[in-house]
Amino acid sequence: MAVTAVFLLVVARIWLLIEPARLPIAIAWKDAGIGLAIGLAIVALSGLIYWVWPAYRRSADFYLAFVLKPLVLWDIIWLGLLPGMSEELLFRGVMLPSIGLNATGLIVSSLCFGVLHMSSPQQWPYAVWAGCVGLILGGSFLVTGNLLVPIVGHVAANAFSGLFWQIRQRQQEAIRR
């Protein structure tokens, strides 16, 4: 996870060297609150889709077990921060403005974001969901003009979904004993 985050930050930095841009991040409580609300909405939507779409459930369980199983509870902080910040800086901070702050840029950057989350062809349902999350996060950036909103949303979504997954796994292990 850390290696991927560093790699994405390096890609974003190289991209900025080739095509300089200003990252529009303003620290504002209101925007941080909007980001938190978006992150919680993403977690709620993911939970709903998890229960109604069996292919997504299998895909999410596989992906989350791969990413989260080796982590201890406190690693959830890093799970939120590292990918949340690095992926947002690359996809919404660099790629989206570079392609265009319009529907085309939003769709292309969201598709790329979805593909990043596809570890194998069987993971297509998770990649589709990640692409939809990319649309939500990218849309929040286009509407607010502040990269803080999708960063906070992504960090919150990763941290809360990781925490809920860890709690559910511990409960299931306790039941099996």
The domain of 143 spans 2-19+30-176
The CA distance from 88 to 96, in Å, is 10
What total number of domains does the chain contain? 1
For residue 54, CA distances in Å to 40, 48, 68, 142 come to: 22, 11, 20, 32
Cβ-based neighbours of 67, under 8 Å, separated by 6 or more: 1, 79
Residue 79 in any domain: the answer is yes
Q: Which of 134, 116, 8 is nearest to 63 (CA)?
A: 116
Q: pLDDT tens digits, the chain, 177 residues: what are they? A: 666 777 777 777 777 777 777 778 788 899 999 999 999 999 999 999 999 999 999 998 888 887 777 777 777 788 788 888 889 999 999 999 999 999 999 999 999 999 998 888 888 999 999 999 999 999 999 999 999 999 999 999 999 988 888 888 778 878 887
Q: What is the pLDDT of residue 130?
A: 95
The CA distance from 2 to 139, in Å, is 26
Residue 24 in any domain: the answer is no
Q: Which of 47, 69, 44, 65 is nearest to 56 (CA)?
A: 47
Q: In this structure, how many other beta carbons lie within 10 angstroms of the beta carbon of residue 112? A: 16
Q: What is the pLDDT of residue 138?
A: 98
